[in-house]
A and B are shown apart, each in its own frame.
Chain A
Amino acid sequence: MALVDKKKSIKALLPPVGVLVVLAASLICSFVPALASVCIFDRQAVLHGQLWRLITCHLVHFSFVHFTYDALAFGVAGAIFRKKHYPYFVSFCLLAAICISGLLLLLKPHMAFYGGLSGIACGALYFCALLGLLESGPWQKVCLLTALFLPGKIAMEFLTGAPMLPYGNYQTFIPVQESHVIGCFVAVLFYLGRNISISGSHPLIDQGRD
């Protein structure tokens, strides 16, 4: 019986199947050059009508370390959504993907190529943190820390112009901090748009309590 319970608790910690599918797709897109060239954010191609790249570009990564870091963050975000029964994960990811790519297209006119899941991952983590603030107990403290850390880190990166803990190896791309800002901004919009209240008997909060 205890073994069954343990298995259940481990299973609950795993990211949802959808997240694992996205990570598998990302792995394939990142390391199969033919797929990467079709999926990557290519400014000229997007402007010539290949609009799918606005969504698929987030699946493409430029190195194994790049993929691992992003996959970890995205996997953790997915696992939280699953464990806490937070809804709108898919719609959030889709909206964040389109907003990040679309705004980068406008804001970064010199950037020819873009790829990476981190904008969506950061946004999803921030969305979780905002939702968690409405709960009580240890989870609320964890979410408060996250809600303070993420904007602080992004602000520091903007001020210094470099990641706080850069990659150890040679990097073939320039980190785009704006994607994290847009991700968090979409999270705030999503949070406000869903009109979640502390006192309300919203199913999300009821299900999400420890």
Chain B
Amino acid sequence: MCLITLFAAWLFSSGCGMLRSSQHQSSSAVKFLYPEQNDHIETPGIPRLALPIKVGVAFVPEVTGTNQNLTERDKMELMTEVSRDFKKYDFVKSIEIIPSAYLWEKGSFANLDQIRTIYGIDVIALLSYDQTQFTDEGLASITYWTLIGAYIIPGEKNDTHTMVDAAVYDIQSRKMLFRAPGVSHIKSKATPVNLSEQLRGDSLTGFQEASKDLVTNLESQLSLFKEKVKNQPEDYQIVHKEGYTGGGSVDGMTILFLGFLCGYWLWLTRKRA
């Protein structure tokens, strides 16, 4: 009777299939650019994009404590992955990956101006994230009573929801050019002994998968932005930088057309003969 009462008490307190813990880490581009105590809100101007542009990529500082799971090395790797997407475009001259140490909390545009001076960039992609991890105990956690079960039976159920957001700003005009999100959802199981290790791994995998999703979304947003620039020339000024290299280049369309013409000519000549 005593044992049953104890078991019931354990079920009630630790919870079989109930939420055990949750962790939340985030950083916000809005809080970085427009901090609460700052009454002055920057008014965006008309962006003047001097092609080819120099782009910077940076993580905005965390607002809810420091995320121990996402180290500076991981951030660098994620930024490199995102920067690869920009590199392939002809209007991008170079990409600078900016370490977190160069951005301070609530740094706002003053901070971005400093980075602009240091790195010589025109446009910056500010990466922010929001990650929440939930840990629940599944039915298998009953085996923890055996003590060995706590070491070998993965009774902890983890859910990791991650969102990585890239907001691309023209620093001089303070205008956001476009943004793209990337999301991921990781599910895993762990024993109580390796729970923290599993959560760390899930956290990193979550960021990596969200970054992949972000890169895909960035490509489509970049295409939309290019269309927007063409359709709304009054909102965006596109100029070429002084000292740029120009090339007289026949494009693929002309080559295709020449190929078509050759074929057409041969066909017409044979038909006539």
Q: Report chain A residues within 8 Å CB of B226.
A: 162
> What is the total number of residues of chain A having a CB less than 8 Å from a CB of chain B?
56
Tell me, rounded to whole Å, the shortest Cβ–Cβ distance linking B232 to chain A: 13
The CA-CA distance from A22 to B61 in the complex, in Å, is: 57
> What is the total number of residues of chain B having a CB less than 8 Å from a CB of chain A?
35
The CA-CA distance from A168 to B265 in the complex, in Å, is: 28
Stretch with Cβ within 8 A of B (4 or more), from A46-54, A116-124, A190-198, A201-209: A116-124
In the complex, are the beta carbons of B261 and A145 less than 8 A apart? Answer: yes
The CA-CA distance from A111 to B271 in the complex, in Å, is: 49
- A72-B258, A118-B248, A142-B261 known; A161 and B243 CB under 8 Å? no
Q: For window 225-273 of chain B, which residues contact chain A by CB distance below 8 Å?
A: 226, 230, 238, 240-258, 261-262, 264-265, 268-269, 271-272
Closest residue on chain A to residue B91 by CB atoms: A174
Pick the contact of B244: A142, A146, A170, A174 (CB < 8 A): A174
- A110-B240, A138-B265, A138-B269 known; A164 and B253 CB under 8 Å? yes
Fill in one digit per residue for B38-77: 1 if any A CB lies within 8 Å of its CB, else 0: 0000000000000110000000000000000000000000
Pick the contact of B247: A72, A116, A122 (CB < 8 A): A116
Closest residue on chain B to residue A182 by CB atoms: B248
Q: Report chain B residues within 8 Å CB of A161.
A: 230, 238
- A110-B244, A173-B247 known; A165 and B88 CB under 8 Å? no
In the complex, are the beta carbons of B249 and A118 less than 8 A apart? Answer: yes
The CA-CA distance from A167 to B246 in the complex, in Å, is: 15
The CA-CA distance from A167 to B261 in the complex, in Å, is: 21
Q: Report chain B residues within 8 Å CB of A122.
A: 250, 254
- A146-B261, A166-B90 known; A110 and B243 CB under 8 Å? yes
Tell me, rounded to whole Å, the shortest Cβ–Cβ distance linking A73 to chain B: 4
Closest residue on chain A to residue B267 by CB atoms: A138
The CA-CA distance from A83 to B127 in the complex, in Å, is: 59
Pick the contact of A114: B52, B248, B262, B271 (CB < 8 A): B248
In the complex, are the beta carbons of B248 and A163 less than 8 A apart? Answer: no
- A110-B240, A170-B88 known; A70 and B248 CB under 8 Å? yes
Tell me, rounded to whole Å, the shortest Cβ–Cβ distance linking B218 to chain A: 17
Q: For window 56-80 of chain A, which residues contact chain B by CB distance below 8 Å?
A: 58, 61-62, 66, 69-70, 72-73, 76
In the complex, are the beta carbons of A115 and B248 less than 8 A apart? Answer: yes
Tell me, rounded to whole Å, the shortest Cβ–Cβ distance linking A41 to chain B: 8
Query: Quick check: is B87 within 8 A (CB to CB) of the other chain?
Result: yes
Q: Report chain A residues within 8 Å CB of B248.
A: 58, 70, 100, 114-120, 175-176, 179-180
The CA-CA distance from A174 to B90 in the complex, in Å, is: 8
In the complex, are the beta carbons of A145 and B251 less than 8 A apart? Answer: no
- 24 residue pairs bridging A and B, Cβ less than 8 Å apart: A58-B248, A62-B245, A76-B262, A104-B246, A113-B245, A114-B245, A114-B248, A115-B245, A118-B248, A120-B248, A138-B271, A146-B257, A153-B254, A153-B257, A157-B251, A163-B249, A165-B253, A167-B252, A173-B245, A174-B51, A174-B52, A174-B244, A179-B246, A179-B248
- Interface on A for B, CB 8 Å cutoff? 58, 61-62, 66, 69-70, 72-73, 76, 100, 104, 108, 110-122, 125, 137-139, 141-142, 145-146, 149-150, 153, 157, 160-167, 169-176, 179-180, 210
Pick the 10 closest A-B CB pairs, nearest first: A116-B248, A138-B268, A173-B247, A165-B252, A171-B90, A163-B251, A179-B248, A165-B253, A176-B246, A118-B248
